């Protein structure tokens, strides 16, 4: 790959932005450095300046100024992406959207809310709690909703409530020429024209910048309960999941921890879970409904050899039960405290999931790296957390090699190279493999919408 | 609007297609006429030839030949669209896809199926029944799945199972230059690249031709039950629906018939429903679950003044109950047997639905036309069936005027000009009103993907 050519912001552009934003434009080295990377191991690159925007109109003015000078623009939220999404590879201006953190309006009757892009998912849920509503999409980080939309994020609730693809009803977007558009009405469904909303959900800031979102909400269920169950094999656990989904039981969460992950959380949180592949369930519904769901799930699990099926209806017990799942990442890191985690992400048709996980475990057992597996198994999505010594090139290249094998297998099984983390810079070569000639169409879209290639250049696809 | 310029298929193109398809290319006047219109009152226009394709490769070859001669291509399924989608306004070649009616593969473990575009929804469900699976999207007609995807169709199950937007996992598409692409893998979720699937779902054949689809399936629920309830007002009925949705009760269907519709079905099917706004419900789940859902819904309805809440768990009673809803269209037509129906389609945020329906009823009461209203109220979507005398211009223009008022009000309420019928030629001017500057982006997409403007020209947007 050619080294990207820097398109540095010229002094006139900096002056223009200074006039527009005053103190809210920073060229400080520390600020630029902090905005030049996400949480991953990928290449970092500082922007020339960081603009702290406070409104859609400001974002539009910044983008217009950058377009005039043909200077790149990178949108920035919480910086918690995992595939190098925010590195300013060609320099330019980073727009930090975290000052746009207003909840614009909530409409309980319509079960929707309009938020600015910098509102985080936890901020939104805290705001909603008193109204008996919640927003279900929950990636690991307390990410900004704009960033979550831009990367098509999901999390543990997706099996029941969907991903950001289903969650976003409409977006306000600043286009590469600075024009402001709204992608859709607030109607729950529409057959009007091309689906602009889904053009921007998942575009990773390469086609425009999302500044506002209208999102679907749900009523907080009357009852929530949880269950945990151990299985003799990953296959038995996955078969249980398949049967549950086929039965139409509306399980809210179904998460898998492999033996290594269970061992790690046992050590980390002093638990005594059986060190076997384990499923964590959450049920949402009426009191009677969640009891019935748990009962049916318990019966299906038993048929597949599930052991120690434990069910909890009380909030406290339920939280304790799920704590193990929430701790899984940090528990894995604690296995080798000097190491950092490198997290992979693939998604396959669920009929191939046991095989995909089995092959990955076989790879790990033949490798010198330690790794734990967690999976959003209802969706066929799983992650391997590789423990790598910071600065150790051998560790890093081995983790990349194994991540590559996971992707190759996922593609061969009819799956995708990323279930929820996105492409960024880290998976551009896999995108070509996954889509073949369809990547040319993506390129056509990129060229037509962003002819100057100023929107987050060097990400998703090569132009 | 300028009269479209015909781009007639030249004899060389016809000869090329004849060589390719033999008897499966028709230039017969009757065949062309039959392929030049849908079920609506909109302008008809016959293509110059109809190509009966049997494979994706054939569609590709036909499109390549048409592109070479810069001749329009219109895809055709069951011809049941409602906004003039298939009229060959500029002439050219119609590709009839109904010969592509194979169910390619069904994967019960993954709850998905791959079908050719000409498979109809009823054909698919008959095939699936023995495997305990079903496909939920159910527009009125037994439409082809390719056509349903192209128009982003929905129906009565959308409140629980979503529309074609949610149903399509992946599509095989022939692009305007004849290239064949697959828009996505079979993974249940993906964060890989631009969302090509949703670019084609709802494009009405103007960006490419869908030849194959991979669709989400569901297990046939253990139990299905139904209920009917009358209300003192549309407002009371809609409030009931809002409370049900907020409570998270997973009702599968919630349909509204207004007083005129109920009166019509009473006459048509000799029923004795109260002639008041009436909701029809369907519940899917376990035996215990559907009983509980019905009980909760009954209680909510009672609080809103619901009368004669009747619940049926037996298949026969349930079918009888729902027959009234299924008959609504023909029952309305039977009110004036000499008339045809003109069906409108808007969708608003549900908080505005009672007002939208009330204003429409007020319009109807001041008009000389007879009209009945039915609504997929869980989605905020409703239709007015206007009864118009064939050939009577006064009736037609009055129906169009009132349909226009419905759209204007829907847009003012934050809704959309079409919930499920699409734009076609009939609603192009409303699309401009609904999207404002965002229509320019749609135009950019159309020009980039179809630079010769050969794909179903004159539909969705003006280029």
Name every chain B residue with its beta carbon within 8 A of the beta carbon of A240.
Answer: none
Percent of chain B with pLDDT over 70: 100
Percent of chain A with pLDDT over 90: 95
Q: Facing residues of A113 across strands?
A: A106, A215
Q: Where are the alpha helices (DSSP H) in B214-352?
A: 234-246, 259-269, 287-303, 315-334
DSSP B342: E
| pLDDT tens readout for residues B30-63 | 999 999 999 999 999 999 999 999 999 999 999 9
| pLDDT tens readout for residues A430-447 | 999 999 999 999 999 999
Q: Which residue has the tokens 């009380």?
A: A314
Residue B228 to chain A, least CA–CA distance (Å):
22
> Residue B16 and residue B408: Cα distance in Å, rounded?
47
Q: Which pLDDT does position A2 carry in this prediction?
A: 62
Q: Which pLDDT does position A326 carry in this prediction?
A: 87
- Asked if B198's CB is within 8 angstroms of A199's CB, the reply is yes
> Residues of CATH 3.30.43.10 domain(s) within chain B?
11-98
- Asked if A222's CB is within 8 angstroms of B196's CB, the reply is no
Name every chain B residue with its beta carbon within 8 A of the beta carbon of A427.
Answer: 192
* Closest of A324, A337, A401, A325 to residue A363, by C-alpha: A401
Q: Which pLDDT does position A320 carry in this prediction?
A: 85
CA-derived radius of gyration, chain A: 22
- For A249, counting Cβ atoms within 10 Å of its Cβ (0-12 exposed, 13-18 middle, 19+ buried), the class is buried
- For B390, counting Cβ atoms within 10 Å of its Cβ (0-12 exposed, 13-18 middle, 19+ buried), the class is exposed
Q: Which pLDDT does position B218 carry in this prediction?
A: 97
| CB distance B449 to B208 below 8 Å | yes
Residue B1 has pLDDT above 60, yes or no: no
| CB distance A427 to A347 below 8 Å | no
Residue A89 has pLDDT above 80, yes or no: yes
DSSP H or E run through B253: strand B253-257
DSSP A315: H
DSSP H or E run through A346: strand A346-347
Report chain B's mean pLDDT, rounded to a whole number: 96
Which CATH number describes the domain made up of A11-98? 3.30.43.10
Percent of chain A with pLDDT over 70: 100
Name every chain A residue with its beta carbon within 8 A of the beta carbon of B201.
Answer: 195
| pLDDT tens readout for residues A322-331 | 888 888 999 9
Report chain A's mean pLDDT, rounded to a whole number: 96
DSSP H or E run through B115: strand B112-116
Q: Which pLDDT does position B226 carry in this prediction?
A: 96
Q: Which pLDDT does position B2 carry in this prediction?
A: 62
Question: Mean of the pLDDT values across residues A330-340?
Answer: 95
Residue B404 has pLDDT above 60, yes or no: yes
Contacts of B155 (CB under 8 A, 6+ apart): B137, B138, B139, B140, B376, B420
Residue B3 has pLDDT above 90, yes or no: no
| pLDDT tens readout for residues B111-139 | 999 999 999 999 999 999 999 999 999 99
Choose the closest CB to B193 out of A296, A423, A444. Answer: A423
Q: How confident is the model at residue B235 (pLDDT cuts 50, 70, 90)?
A: very high
| pLDDT tens readout for residues A257-294 | 999 999 999 999 999 999 999 999 999 999 999 999 99
> Residues of CATH 3.40.462.40 domain(s) within chain B?
223-412
| CB distance B173 to B181 below 8 Å | yes
Using N-to-C axis directions, what is the helix angle for B393-412 and B353-365, rounded to 10°? Answer: 160
Choose the closest CB to B188 out of A110, A347, A410. Answer: A347
| pLDDT tens readout for residues B410-458 | 999 999 999 999 999 999 999 999 999 999 999 999 999 999 999 999 9
> Residue A409 and residue A415: Cα distance in Å, rounded?
8
Q: Which candidate in B194, B299, B406 is best for mutational testing of the A interface (most A CBs within 10 A)?
A: B194
Considering the domain delimited by A103-219, tell me its CATH architecture. 2-Layer Sandwich (3.30)
| pLDDT tens readout for residues B276-324 | 999 999 999 999 999 999 999 999 999 999 999 999 989 898 988 888 8
> Residues of CATH 3.30.465.10 domain(s) within chain A?
103-219
pTM, entire model: 0.97
CA-derived radius of gyration, chain B: 22
Which CATH number describes the domain made up of A223-412? 3.40.462.40
> Residue B402 and residue B386: Cα distance in Å, rounded?
9
| CB distance B283 to B251 below 8 Å | yes
């Amino acid at each position: 790959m050619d080294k990207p050519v820097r398109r540095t912001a010229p002094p006139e552009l900096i002056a223009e932005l200074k006039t527009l934003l005053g103190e809210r434009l920073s060229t400080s080295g520390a600020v630029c450095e902090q905005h030049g990377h996400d949480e991953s191991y990928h290449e970092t690159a500082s922007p020339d300046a960081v603009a702290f925007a406070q409104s859609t109109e400001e974002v539009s003015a910044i983008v217009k100024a950058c377009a005039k000078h043909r200077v790149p623009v990178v949108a920035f939220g919480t910086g918690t992406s995992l595939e190098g999404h925010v590195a300013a590879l060609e320099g330019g201006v980073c727009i930090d959207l975290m000052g746009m953190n207003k909840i614009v309006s909530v409409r309980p009757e319509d079960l929707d809310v309009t938020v600015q892009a910098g509102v985080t998912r936890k901020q939104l849920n805290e705001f909603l709690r008193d109204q008996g509503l919640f927003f279900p999409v929950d990636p690991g980080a307390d990410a900004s909703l704009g960033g979550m939309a831009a990367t098509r994020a999901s999390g543990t609730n997706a099996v029941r409530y969907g991903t950001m693809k289903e969650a976003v009803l409409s977006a306000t977007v600043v286009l590469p020429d600075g024009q402001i558009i709204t992608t859709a009405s607030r109607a729950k469904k529409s057959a009007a024209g091309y689906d602009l909303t889904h053009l921007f959900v998942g575009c990773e800031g390469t086609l425009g910048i999302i500044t506002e979102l209208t999102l679907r909400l749900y009523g907080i269920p009357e009852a929530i309960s949880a269950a945990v169950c151990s299985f003799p094999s990953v296959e038995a656990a996955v078969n249980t999941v398949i049967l549950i989904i086929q039965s139409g039981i509306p399980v809210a969460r179904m998460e898998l921890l492999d033996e290594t992950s269970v061992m790690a959380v046992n050590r980390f949180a002093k638990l005594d879970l059986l060190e076997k592949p384990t499923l964590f369930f959450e049920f949402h519904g009426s009191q009677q409904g969640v009891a019935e769901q748990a009962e049916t799930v318990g019966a299906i699990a038993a048929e597949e050899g599930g052991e120690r099926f434990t069910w909890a209806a009380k909030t406290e017990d339920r939280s304790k039960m799920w704590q193990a799942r929430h701790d899984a990442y940090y528990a894995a890191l604690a296995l080798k405290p000097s190491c950092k985690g490198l997290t992979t992400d693939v998604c396959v048709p669920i009929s191939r999931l046991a095989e995909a996980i089995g092959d990955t475990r076989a790879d790990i057992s033949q490798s010198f790296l330690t790794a734990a597996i967690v999976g959003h198994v209802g969706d066929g999505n799983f992650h391997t957390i590789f423990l790598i010594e910071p600065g150790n090139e051998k560790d890093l290249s081995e983790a990349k090699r194994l991540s590559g094998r996971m992707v190759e297998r996922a593609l061969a099984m009819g799956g995708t190279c990323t279930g929820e983390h996105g492409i960024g810079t880290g998976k551009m070569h896999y995108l070509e493999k996954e889509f073949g000639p369809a990547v040319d169409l993506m390129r056509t879209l990129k060229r037509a919408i962003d002819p100057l290639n100023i929107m987050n250049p060097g990400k998703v696809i090569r132009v």
